[in-house]
Amino acid sequence: MRLIISGGGTGGHIYPALALIKELKKQEPDSEVLYVGSTRGIEKNIVPKLGIKFKELRIQGFKRSLSLDNFKTVYLFLKSVHESKKIIKQFHPDIVIGTGGYVSGAVVYAASRLHIPTLIHEQNSVVGLTNRFLSHYVNKIAIAFHMAADQFPSGKVVFTGNPRAQQVANLKSNFKWSQYDLKDDVPTALIVGGSQGALKLNQSTVEAIKKFNQRKYQLVFVTGPKRYDDVKRKLSGIDINSNVVIKPYISNMPLILPKTDVIIGRAGATSLAEITAIGIPSILIPSPYVTADHQTKNAMSLVKNNAAIIVKESDLNADSLIKPIDELMANSNERHQMATNSRKMGVQDAATRLYHVMKQLTGK
């Protein structure tokens, strides 16, 4: 199969695309793949290093307020559509797939105008602007949350889950907490605010650190690389007990998650896909800075199934953070039930499901 895939801007768009590419290569090793990303997106630093052919387009998103910059956005979009058509004609794909981000809008729209089979994947419970636009032109729409279905034209939607979940679920982890100078037989909580960290979550954890020092369970606190020095500065003069470890970043997070008893963090689509694939009790603090408050809606899908606890960022402080952590870490039966509920929500074969949708569209 010959595949053009496009997704960019954030890991939430990129990693599902990479998981699907891996599944395609597993099913059809001779497949040819071209990834189209943007000049300013992180995908250009990630994808080529994996040996995947990569082309980039100069494109930007719309400002939500009235702005002259939006005229430039329209110009760059139209130019990118024109360039995408040339890329498509040169590559001759059997199918073109978009996983979100502005760049996928130009690529998938161009493919639809050339009558190439098209598919988009929506990771969130609230549909993004790009996928909302593309939904009128593509052949099929894959979703990761059932609640996204009624936001798309009827008849095109298929539930697959998030391909990233399958990638994480199939990993075999040999990680031990002793690698962080912790004990492997003591329950461990993990606080992480995404790859860049979350300011208020960091602040609340810093304020609660003296109490965490006194707990019988272990805590791993991931600050984000850009916020690490600030956290360490605020904690200067405070002794950190041996049950608490502070890290700027963890590169092998999927290997650590299976060893985690409770995770505390944001409610991005990729994070929840990983959490439910493995089955981890979670305390979710949705980011209030995302479009249409979609992280809250993502989180509520787990809360309604007793797989997670939600804490609003506006309510977040040292006490509201440590209270639910203490309660879960003290109750192994509750953790076990939440883990079971979380795992039931996971779609461990999401990448395979998406691959079969591709096969149906191409007839190959």
Digit-coded pLDDT (tens) for 115-160? 999 999 999 999 988 999 999 999 999 999 999 999 999 899 999 9
The pTM of this model reads 0.87
Confidence band of 252 (pLDDT split at 50, 70, 90) = confident
DSSP β-bridge partners for residue 120: 98, 141
Flag whether pLDDT at 195 surpasses 70.
no
Same fold, 2-163+348-362 and 177-345: yes
User: Comparing 255 with 196, which gets the higher pLDDT?
Assistant: 255
Query: Are 252 and 168 within 8 A, CB to CB?
Result: no
Confidence band of 62 (pLDDT split at 50, 70, 90) = low
Q: What is the pLDDT of residues 70-83, one digit of tens each?
A: 667 788 889 999 99
Percent of the chain with pLDDT over 70: 96
Overall CATH class of domain 177-345: alpha beta
Tell the burial category of 332 from Cβ atoms under 10 Å away from its Cβ (0-12, 13-18, 19+): exposed
Residue with tokens 């509920």: 341
* Mean per-residue pLDDT of the chain: 93
- Give me the count of residues in the chain: 364
Alpha carbon dihedral 96, 158, 300, 15, in 10-degree steps, equals: -30
Known binding residues for UDP-N-acetyl-alpha-D-glucosamine are: 10-12, 124, 195, 250, 295
Complete DSSP assignment for 103-115: HHHHHHHHHHHTT
Query: Are 338 and 308 within 8 A, CB to CB?
Result: yes
Between the two ends of the chain, the Cα-to-Cα distance in Å is 8
Mean pLDDT, to the nearest integer, of 312-317? 97
What pLDDT, on a 0 to 100 scale, did the predictor assign at position 15? 92
What pLDDT, on a 0 to 100 scale, did the predictor assign at position 64? 58
Of 57-66, 310-319, 333-342, the range with the lowest mean pLDDT is 57-66
Known binding residues are: 10-12, 124, 195, 250, 295
Going by C-beta distance under 8 Å and a sequence separation of 6 or more, which residues neighbour residue 28? 1
What pLDDT, on a 0 to 100 scale, did the predictor assign at position 316? 97
Closest C-alpha to 284, from 253, 329, 316, 258: 316
**Would you list the domain boundaries of the chain?**
2-163+348-362, 177-345
What pLDDT, on a 0 to 100 scale, did the predictor assign at position 65? 57
What pLDDT, on a 0 to 100 scale, did the predictor assign at position 290? 86
Q: What is the pLDDT of residues 1-58, one digit of tens each?
A: 999 999 988 888 999 999 999 999 999 999 999 999 999 888 999 999 999 999 999 8
Tell the burial category of 32 from Cβ atoms under 10 Å away from its Cβ (0-12, 13-18, 19+): middle
Mean pLDDT, to the nearest integer, of 98-110? 95
The CATH number assigned to the domain with range 2-163+348-362 reads 3.40.50.2000
DSSP β-bridge partners for residue 302: none
Flag whether pLDDT at 292 surpasses 90.
no
